[in-house]
Structure 1
Amino acid sequence: MSVDTEYQWQVGLERGLCQRDEAVEGFEALVVSYNTLLHHTLQLEGDYAHLNDTHTTLRTEHAKLADVGAAANLDAFVAAQKRIAELEWQVTTLKDERSDLYKAQGQHAQRLLSLTDDVRRREEQVRDLETSAKATATQMAKLQQSVDDYFYVLREKDGTIQDEMTALQLELVTKEEKLKRVEQENSQLVERWLRKMNEEAERMNDTNRQLEAERRPPPSVDQLNECLGDENYFGLGRRTSDTNQAPSKVPSIVYKELENPHHGEIHTLHVSHDGTMVATGGQDRRVKVFDSRSGNLKYTLSGCLQSVLHVWFSPTDDLILATSSDNAIRVWALDTGRIQHTLTGHIGKVVSAKFDGEARKIISVSHDRTIKSWDLYRGYCSKTIFSISSCNDLCLMDPQGTTILSGHVDNVLRVWDMQSGNCVREVTGLHDAPITSLAIAPAMTDSPPSLIPPILSAAFIPYSVDHTHLLTNAKDGTLHILDLNTFESVGVLRAEGYRPGSNWARAAFSADGHLVAAGSADGVLFIWNTRTFEVQARVKEHTSPVCAAFWDASGQHFFSAEKDQLVCFWE
């Protein structure tokens, strides 16, 4: 215990004792008065005994005088009778005074008992205050130790920040020099490119002149009608993600249930890109990875200090990340089950993070209103962007992560240039409540453009959702599909009874982009058709809010998780 703390404790104890003395001093005069009255009572009792003896003596004398009354003087007898009457009156008066003193003594005794009880209660209060003072002193010592520890950590952080600032300054100087060289090289390349393009243009002009001379007449209307009547002509037909892949299925049968996989609520779920693993995270601060077919537990990954809010597999499924309420991101290698990186720098809980296409960096968003880019080779933050509002989710528009999309608590979708750190676009008016999740549709494999006749316009090509479309989910109970070329909504998905159950409720596209799934607060899974924008199915297996739902890469299996510790494998 420090000197200041011990001195404060002594001052507090002395102040409590002084207050007790002040409370007790009020009864001192009453005790003195009671003792005086008691002494006076004892003295009067002695006087009463003396007078009683005198009265007995006088009665004896009176009897003697009565025996010799004839011979006594009448005046002397009368005087003796008068004296006796006076003494009897004094005796009666003393008896009355003694009765009054007994009454006063009883009252004072009762008051003394009350004062004694009051003093005992005050002493108990003083003991309680002393005990509380000791506990407070112990707590102050612990708090002082915590403050000292925090000051030590703060000094270490200051040193680390200074070193990082110095390193960043050196890196900035190096980058500026590199930028100058790149600008010079760029200007040279532009000049070479312009010369090359001029040459190409001349060659194309020569080719076009030759083709113009040999041009055939365009097809007739009947020929076009025949083309459009044959759904396989020029390769036009169903646009699926893979010509050998079956369409994604609506989940209907649960073939595996994982009950209580975590000790506490489940917050997140993700399926590996090859569809063989399912990862979950929750309140017990662990990430668990299961086999997607058998449901057997493959890995239990620990290291988070608070609840896990988001998990995500790397593109090659050899790494997995988890974001946590402890303001950090952790990356595990699945072949060893060990943590490769612990990325700290956010000052609020990290709610979402994604790998780039080559797992060289991670982009994360947090409730501290920042977006950070992390270099996994060096293990530190390479870029920080301050957003206007807290983010709930993000997704990458390109594999390199140079442009990202973020969904915010203020209902706005924002587009960010990670190289400059600027917000290049804000999409407002989509939702009336916070955006909970974002998802880009999977890439579609379509017929080669060179096989489509130039005379057919885009209006003849069947509409299909592909990687140029974005799915937004929000707390207002609506989902929007946006065209990323124009950022205009091409369709709204809504259903009676659909209401996301958390701020991070994840919605997902199917593998072929023809279906969208989202879980509601009442445990119902809603499946929409992205061609008609209508609800295709409602399935009920969960009883609490569904936090996430995903199809695997084949589109034949579906996985969902609810907060109350239930994970379902569907087919």
Structure 2
Amino acid sequence: MPENPNQPRDDDAVLGGDSQPPTYAVVLGGLEGVKRRFASTVESQRILALNDAFNYGESGLDFVIQALQDESTGVKRAAYSLLLTKTETKAYTALEKFNHYQFFECLRTLKEHSNFISSVAIAPTGKIIVSGSGDMTIRVWYVERNWCLRTLFGHRSYVTSVAITPDCKTIVSGSCDHTIKVWERVTGDCLHTLQGHSGSVDSVAITPDGKTIVSGSSDNTIKVWDISTGESLATFSGHSDRVDSLAIAPDGKTIVSGSYDKTIKVWDILTGESLATFSGHSDRVDSLAIAQERTLETDLGAVKSVAIAPDGKTIVSASYDNTIKVWDIMTGECLRTLKGHSNFVLCVAIAPDGKTIVSSSSDKTIKVWDILTGECKGTFSGHSITVISVAITPDGRTIVSGGGDNTMKVWGMR
């Protein structure tokens, strides 16, 4: 006869006798024993019971999955961590639906920069962070360490944007000094200095094959460069104001740009043809007081950041109008507008699962959103002033932010 997993086994312990109060005289065996211990009012005992649940097959797995809905944050965290060790489809499905961002906290604060951090990028391996700063330097860090691996010197003004190639060997930076620099990551050597823009280089991006750089500038243009030679391949014109952000589709054929002219444009990288223009960000903000505080030079509808989902079908944009918009790249339809930040939204990133948006804002917070529903799944506070840039690791388990307080913060679960 098959063994019943809910019944005590021969080697299970029994708690009872005169040494314990009669109310605790229960059999600590089988899944029923696990459930009795889980009913304890002591959180540590409940977590220990969860650890034992996996000894009882699929029923035990189901029990741990149910614990994801527990009222105790500690129990939910323990259940989540335990399920990460399992390979069953049921466990994977439960984790996929679960909001693990509720457990995120600041794991470390990196303080080597002496001025604001304008841009952060995470290598595809998820192990290396690159940061650009108003102190005119680029720094390279390990995600899991508190110290800087190396500092790259060479720009003569603020570094505005950084990117790293898919093979993690090369860093690209843009600067207010009108140049783009190409660096060897390991040695820190500057391989090329690219000149051609007549204004600040506000954004840089690298194609998925690692062979091409795309840059956007305050001269209102987009340029395409050969990363190995530094040769300028093409210039795209069409925006009527500075191009502050760029993203490249996973197929490497499409560029998306965001501009202070309040539009997002989609381009064919080979022909330079403008395929579509999306409009929707505006000068309207929910708070009149905030609007009155801002200078006349500030264009409230400016698009500050754009990102493309891994499937290449969805664009996300962030604006000075305090909102994030989600767009269908084929139709140009605005699928939803995400509201929750109380000030400028300066940067957006999309998690590799294509389901999660991370945003940073002048309201000093980082927010995590469900891209399909627009639900805010978490808000992180810790920077003392504006959060300028944000990025997320490929596994979605770590977020990195750069602030106007000269610090970079790493967020995740302990």
TM-score exceeds 0.5: yes
**Distance in structure 2 (CA, Å) of the matches to 1:243 and 1:334:** 39
How many Å separate the matches in 2 of 1:286 and 1:496?
Answer: 30
**Counterpart contact for 1:391–1:406, Cα < 8 Å:** yes
Find the counterpart in structure 2 of residue 515 from structure 1: 356
The aligned amino acid for 1:539 is: F
Residue from 197, 218, 225 that aligns with 1:367:
218
Equivalent in the alignment of 1:475: 320
Q: CA deviation at 1:244?
A: 10
* Equivalent position SS for 1:564: coil
* Aligned-partner Cα distance in 2 for 1:399–1:331: 23
8 A Cα contact 1:515 1:530, kept in partner: yes
CA RMSD of aligned residues (A): 2.3
The more displaced of 486-495 and 522-531 is: 522-531
User: Residue in 2 aligned with 1:568?
Assistant: 409
Retained in 1: the 8 A contact 2:206–2:213?
A: yes
After TM superposition, list the pairs within 5 Å mapping 1:8-407 onto structure 2: 249-250=100-101, 252-259=104-111, 261-389=112-240, 390-400=242-252, 402-407=253-258
Change in Cα spacing, 1:418 to 1:529, as seen in structure 2 (3 Å) is closer
Deviations 1:205-230 (A, max 9, x none): xxxxxxxxxxxxxxxxxxxxxxxxxx
Q: Are positions 1:540 and 2:378 aligned together?
A: no
Which residue pairs with 1:144 in the alignment?
none
Contact 1:396 1:405 in 2 (8 A): yes
Query: Any gaps of 5 or more consecutive residues in structure 2?
Result: 1-88, 284-300
CA deviation profile, 1:250-296 (whole Å, cap 9, x unmatched): 1622111112x212222111111111011111111110011101122
After TM superposition, list the pairs within 5 Å mapping 1:432-451 onto structure 2. Answer: 432=283, 433-443=301-311
Whichever of the two has the greater Rg, that structure is: 1
Aligned mates of 1:412, 1:488 — CA distance in 2: 13
Deviation by residue 1:112-166 (Cα, 9 ceiling, x = unmatched): xxxxxxxxxxxxxxxxxxxxxxxxxxxxxxxxxxxxxxxxxxxxxxxxxxxxxxx
Instruction: Indicate if the aligned counterparts of 1:247 and 1:512 stay in contact, CA closer than 8 A.
Output: no
After TM superposition, the score normalised by the length of structure 2 is 0.69
- Residue 498 of structure 1 and its aligned partner are, at CA, apart by 4.2
Whole-angstrom CA distance in 1 between matches of 2:254 and 2:391: 24
Alpha-carbon distance, 1:312 to partner: 0.7
In the TM superposition, structure 1's runs of 4+ consecutive aligned residues that sit over 6 Å from their partners are: 242-248
How much does 1:532 deviate?
Answer: 2.2
1:428 paired with 2:273, answer no
State the distance in 1 between where 2:366 and 2:227 align.
Answer: 36
Deviation at 1:440? 0.9
Task: Identify the residue that residue 369 of structure 2 maps to in structure 1.
Answer: 528
Q: 1:480 offset after TM fit, Å? A: 0.9
Preserved CA contact (<8 Å) 2:202 2:217? yes
Provide the rounded CA distance (Å) in 1 between the counterparts of 2:167 and 2:268.
Answer: 25
Q: Is the 8 A contact 1:323 1:352 kept in 2?
A: yes
Counterpart selection for 1:417 from 262, 268, 286: 268
One-letter amino acid of the structure 1 residue matched with residue 105 of structure 2: I
8 Å contact 2:158–2:176 — kept in the other structure? Answer: yes
- For 1:494, which of 334, 339, 359 is the aligned residue? 339
Q: 1:301 to 1:351 in 2, by over 3 A?
A: same
Alignment length (residue pairs):
304
Cα distance, 1:398 vs. partner? 4.6
Mapped partners of 1:246, 1:304: distance in 2:
45
Deviation at 1:506, TM superposition (A): 1.4
Structure 2 Cα separation of the partners of residues 566 and 298 of structure 1 = 16
Indicate the larger mover: 421-430 or 556-565. Answer: 421-430
Which 10-residue stretch deviates more, 270-279 or 391-400? 391-400
Partner Cα separation in structure 2 for residue 472 and residue 328 of structure 1: 25
Tell me if structure 2 keeps the 8 A contact 1:332–1:340.
yes
For 2:401, what is the secondary structure of its paired residue? strand
- Bigger fraction of residues in helix: 1
The one-letter code sitting in structure 1 at the alignment partner of 2:344 is: R
Aligned counterparts of 1:245 and 1:296: Cα–Cα separation in 2: 33
What is the letter of the counterpart of residue 394 of structure 1?
L
Residue 245 of structure 1, CA deviation: 8.1
Contact 1:248 1:512 in 2 (8 A): no
Whichever residue aligns with residue 483 of structure 1, its letter is: D
- CA distance in 1: counterparts of 2:194 and 2:99, whole angstroms: 37
Q: CA contact under 8 A between 2:318 and 2:324: conserved in structure 1? A: yes
Instruction: Give 1:387 deviation, angstroms.
Output: 2.6
Distance 1:496 1:245 in 2: 26
Instruction: Report the Cα offset of residue 247 of structure 1.
Output: 6.7
Within 2, Cα distance between the matches of 1:243 and 1:303?
48
Return the alpha-carbon distance in structure 1 between the equivalents of residues 186 and 305 of structure 2.
30
How far the C-alpha of 1:491 sits from its partner, in A, is 1.6
Aligned partner of residue 526 in structure 1, secondary structure: strand
CA distance in 2, matches of 1:289, 1:437: 23
**Bigger proportion of residues as strand:** 2
- Maintained 8 Å contact 1:522/1:543: no
Post-superposition CA distance 1:476-518 (Å, at most 9, x none)? 0111111222221222111152433xxxx21112232332221
Amino acid at match of 1:312: A
**Partner secondary structure for residue 379 of structure 1:** coil
